[in-house]
Structure 1
């Protein structure tokens, strides 16, 4: 693994342990050249997924981009990072086990909305406002109405 500080290719693993409910391995590394310390994660990847954008363009699936979507929606919200990581890992597992290699971006967005709804209502509304491209206040009223209806039936 290349050192992110000095680009040396000779780094050493100092500590390894399970992470993310055993679905990844966290490794602490040190660079003998510059002394820099950093962490890497190793995860199982069942298949290379491709996201099919609304325009038809295809891009490789990026787990980090998925995690950033959660981080943006949950900014300044008090949600346990472990719960967020479990949600991201759950979505990735669901996509990988679907049997499909090409996943429509809309399907991923729907899974994110579903997960955010379970994590935090404010984050759900934030994400939905961008994902559904809200244009006016009534769009928010409709979404809040949906949330309220779910609370009374759920």
Structure 2
């Protein structure tokens, strides 16, 4: 459940509660919302931890990668120092790669939601199409987009 869905669930809860709503049902709804909020909090904490790791990552002074970067720069310094600087940059950048599984999962979910929006649009267009060929084409496009959204989500898990 994303934040928008969580907010909608909260509003639905507020609408569903009346004087006739049994207390146990209200408790179940609140518990469900709390669980979803915990999931979102865990996700944001994981993203914050990855962000902190990215910000604190730096190459080891006098380390092997630093020496490779200096060699790469010196190789080009007389003719095209910019090339040497870029080579050195890429060596140093690659030496401080940080695992970002939470970010990757978050971005996959955002992409999948975008594809699902496209799938929904295709199916709406299918309902408005004048010919059966156009209707079928729009509908199949929507189904293919839904499959692709699932693949985006699974790609991060594998």
TM-score normalised according to structure 2 size: 0.26
TM-score normalised by the chain length of structure 1: 0.27
Greater helix fraction, Structure 1 or Structure 2: 2
